[in-house]
Structure 1
């Protein structure tokens, strides 16, 4: 599942603190954090921590362990509470496992 959380929901803490819960624990098919990063107002090319470019869309590609690739526009995700588990990309992804996730490269024409 995917979720988008405001950065204000996750405060910076000192090294001595224990951390902050970002998912509710589930007994059946528990969620795990696979990939995290910033959703930019202006899009990125490459991974979630690269530099900004002039494209506004960020599309995340998620590949399941069965080879199915799912696309999701990150700007279309609604803001969630910090402890929510997010929403599924599709009904079948919960039966499959995530194999890889990366940003789709977007190229813009020079004007």
Structure 2
């Protein structure tokens, strides 16, 4: 999961409980009063190591690898992948595929 402020977070799907319609508002990020985090990208496929090319509003490009992202508790905001003050906010993200690891039976 990536926020517009450049925080990146990896968590296990088992940490998110299945709830009914009445309890549909579930917290995945710690709410902040000033400049709250908003989810801009989420990937559910963690079966293979993935690479993500993150571009910012200041025209900077950062590559994040899923195997290097630590698991975070449900209510934390994750770790900073981008310094928002110097690099700007996230403008685009692209998942890079490594076709050499795909096995065809």
Shorter-chain TM range is 0.7 to 0.9
Residues 41/109 of structure 1: CA separation in 2 closer, same or farther (3 Å cut): closer
The structure carrying a bigger strand percent of its residues is 2
Consecutive unaligned residues of structure 2, counting only runs of 5 or more, are 1-6
The structure carrying a bigger helix percent of its residues is 2
Give the paired residue count: 95
> Within the alignment, does 1:60 sit opposite 2:52 as a pair?
yes
Which structure has more relative contact order (CA 8 Å, sep 6+)? It is 2
Aligned residue runs from structure 1 range 87-106, under 5 A:
87-90=79-82, 92=83, 94-95=84-85, 96-106=88-98
Consecutive unaligned residues of structure 1, counting only runs of 5 or more, are 43-56
Q: Which runs of 4+ in 1 moved over 6 A?
A: none
- TM-score, structure 2 normalization: 0.77
Question: How well do the aligned residues superpose, as a CA RMSD in angstroms?
Answer: 2.2
